[in-house]
Amino acid sequence: MFSRDNLIADCKAALTGGTSAQSAVRDVLAQAVSDPAAVLKDLGEPEKGGVVKLYDSEDLTIINVIWGPYMTIMPHNHEMWANIGIYTGREDNIFWRRMPESKDGKVEAAGAKSLETKDATTLGRDIIHSVTNPLPRLTGAIHIYGGDFFRVPRSEWDPESHHEQAYDVEKNLKMLADA
């Protein structure tokens, strides 16, 4: 049965295991979102967009991300590995790559992946992606990062010009809360 306390303990234990930490944490996350009803019972039915910190340390961040209906967040990176598990709704990810000839870090689309309820996936430390909730209702996802998500400097890209700029944590948290 899912509980946030067990999720945190299992992820912390997975970091110290003998296999790849990201892979081990992804397995923990996949097990958690395999029972969406249990996740909803513990975390509650999403009522509004936002981010809820479940755990935050130098080497591990676990957040409950609630995407507003039809919400899109601009391309961004994490500068650390990430695992994403969906427990209700859907996330559509567009993956981006830096344009080699660009002097200002401009990006171009390079692929996509849709995640549905019960899906869990990994993102490498160098991945640049944007996220859309294509549904007319809230989407709930557990995001787990191999580092301190809220304090590591990283980049975001302007959604219109695709030019790189510093990631603004507070702006993005507000955008999620307002969705």
* CATH T-level assignment (fold) for domain 4-178: Jelly Rolls (2.60.120)
Tracing tokens 């049965």 back to the chain, one arrives at 1
pLDDT computed for residue 19 by the predictor? 66
Q: How far is CA 16 from CA 11, 80, 82, in A?
A: 9, 17, 17
- Other Cβ atoms closer than 10 A to 112: 12
Assign 100 a pLDDT band (cuts: 50, 70, 90).
confident
pLDDT surpasses 80 at 82: yes
Query: Which pTM value belongs to this model?
Result: 0.94
118-172 tens-digit pLDDT: 999 999 999 999 999 999 999 999 999 999 999 999 999 999 999 999 999 889 9
Average pLDDT over residues 9-22: 88
* pLDDT at residue 18, rounded to an integer: 62
Residue 104 has pLDDT above 80, yes or no: no
The answer to whether residues 97 and 128 touch, using CB atoms and an 8 Å cutoff, is: yes
Q: Are 95 and 121 in contact (CB under 8 A)?
A: no
Among the ranges given (33-42, 64-73, 156-165), the one the predictor scored with the smallest mean pLDDT = 156-165
Structural domain boundaries of the chain? 4-178
Mean pLDDT across the chain: 94
pLDDT reading at 76 higher than 70? yes
